[in-house]
Structure 1
Amino acid sequence: MKLLIVDDDQLVCQSLKLLLGKEEDLEVVDIAANGQEAIEVCQRELPDVILMDIQMPIMDGIKSTKRIKDQWPSVQIMMLTTFQDEKNIRLALKAGAEGYLIKSAAIENMAQQIRALRAGSTVLDADVLKTIMEPDREALEGLTQRETDIVDLVAQGLSNKEIAGQLFLSVGTVRNMLSVILDKLEIRDRTQLAIYYWQRKQG
């Protein structure tokens, strides 16, 4: 499996190259210091998996990820960054990244995570999942923030497919979560749910 490591910190690049180079089935074909260099390496080497930092000079990791996925959709990208804020996580996943890990996490199992990514799994750090899914104080009573987001979009008249696109979820997940929401609130259908939402907002 051919790997590309993209980070403006040379120490990070060299450490990962040394660590992953010990694995028989992994080959670090190159390292890059920014998103533009990553694109150039892709043109030359076409790696299977890219470990991509977010904040870099010249071109950041999110912009680079989008361009790489547009041109080489088979290349899989794992963000490896210090940034755990929800905005960066969502932007990275929207750009096409299949994984998102925090640099402070233990990297002993990095090789296994890369193999899982290549096998088709989405690899998300536990803290990243918590950031995305954690309930919020502003959520509707009895619902998580994510469930409240779905109710908000239902109230705006969006279909399950449109909601899935907005929240980076599958249509099946939206359908299942909507069923849970209706059950929690003891509401019959989407129309009643929208009425409930607007009554709560006005109250």
Structure 2
Amino acid sequence: MKVLIVDDDPLVCQSLELLLSRENDMEIIGTANDGAEAIQCCERLMPDMVLMDIRMPGMDGIQATRTIKNRWPQVQIMMLTTFQDEHNIRLAILAGAEGYMLKSTHVSNMAQQLRALASGVSILDAKVLKTLTGPSKEEITELTPRESTILELVALGCSNREIAQQLFLSEGTVRNTLSLILDKLELRDRTQLAIYYWKRSL
């Protein structure tokens, strides 16, 4: 398994490279310090798996994940982060990440989870899963399932083009659906939609 490590802390990259390279079935083919560099490395090195930090200067891990999955859907991405809040988890999953693991994970468990992800099993750290399966948010009953999904993507900062790509819709359909959502919720623009969504989510 060819692995690319992406983290803005050089010490984290070096430590992970040292520890994971001891695994017989893993080859660390490179490290990157931000999302833009990760995309360049993917183009040049074509990893099987990317260990991706979330918060980095410049292009963050969420943006990089979305770009990588759009260009190279076969590359699997495991988010590796200290953040286990629902907002970041949902952003990562919507961007296309197949796994979400905390940096507190022991390296032996980390290797096992990377192998499981490589075999096709989606991986969520137990603490992360607990975050996602906590008390459910109040449902927005005024909207259809598709409208609810588009509302969520707007709240997460996705453009119409990004929403269209993720949901396999045309940009025109996304625009029309957004107009319907605005009418139903009696709101004026995308900013009000995002505020509405996050107020309902808290």
The alignment's TM-score, normalised by the length of structure 1, stands at: 0.70
Q: Which residue of 2 aligns with 1:134?
A: 134
Matched, 1:158 2:144: yes
Give the counterpart letter for 1:16 in structure 2.
L
Q: Which moved more, 1:103-112 or 1:8-17?
A: 103-112
- Structure 2 residue runs of 5 or longer lacking an equivalent are 154-202
The offset of 1:158, in angstroms, is 1.5
The offset of 1:105, in angstroms, is 2.6
The offset of 1:118, in angstroms, is 0.8
Q: Please give the residue correspondences for 1:59-78 in structure 2 after superposition, counting only pairs within 5 Å.
A: 59-78=59-78
Higher Cα Rg, which structure:
1
Tell me the percent identity. Answer: 57
Matched, 1:84 2:84: yes
Using the alignment, how far apart are the partners of 1:158 and 1:23 within structure 2?
Answer: 47
Q: Which residue of 2 aligns with 1:98?
A: 98
Give the counterpart letter for 2:5 in structure 1.
I
Q: Which residue of 1 aligns with 2:167?
A: none
Give the counterpart letter for 2:120 in structure 1.
G
Deviations 1:141-169 (A, max 9, x none): xxxx15x43xx3xx32524xx3895689x
Q: Which residue of 2 aligns with 1:18?
A: 18
The offset of 1:106, in angstroms, is 2.2
- Structure 1 residue runs of 5 or longer lacking an equivalent are 136-144, 169-203
Q: Which residue of 1 aligns with 2:31?
A: 31
Using the alignment, how far apart are the partners of 2:14 and 2:75 within structure 1?
Answer: 22
Structure 1 residues 134 and 45: CA distance shift in structure 2, 3 A: same
Q: Please give the residue correspondences for 1:163-174 in structure 2 after superposition, counting only pairs within 5 Å.
A: 165=149
Using the alignment, how far apart are the partners of 1:17 and 1:6 within structure 2?
Answer: 11
Q: Which residue of 2 aligns with 1:124?
A: 124
The offset of 1:54, in angstroms, is 0.5
Asked if the contact 2:20–2:107 (Cα under 8 Å) also holds between the matched residues in 1, the reply is: no
- Between the two proteins, the alignment pairs up a number of residues equal to 152
Give the counterpart letter for 2:111 in structure 1.
A
The alignment's TM-score, normalised by the length of structure 2, stands at: 0.70
Give the counterpart letter for 1:131 in structure 2.
T
Asked if the contact 2:77–2:98 (Cα under 8 Å) also holds between the matched residues in 1, the reply is: yes
- SS of equivalent residue, structure 2 residue 74: coil
Structure 1 residues 164 and 98: CA distance shift in structure 2, 3 A: farther
State the Cα RMSD in Å. 1.8
Give the counterpart letter for 2:61 in structure 1.
G
Using the alignment, how far apart are the partners of 2:19 and 2:67 within structure 1?
Answer: 28
Using the alignment, how far apart are the partners of 1:122 and 1:59 within structure 2?
Answer: 25
Give the counterpart letter for 2:142 in structure 1.
Q
Matched, 1:115 2:115: yes
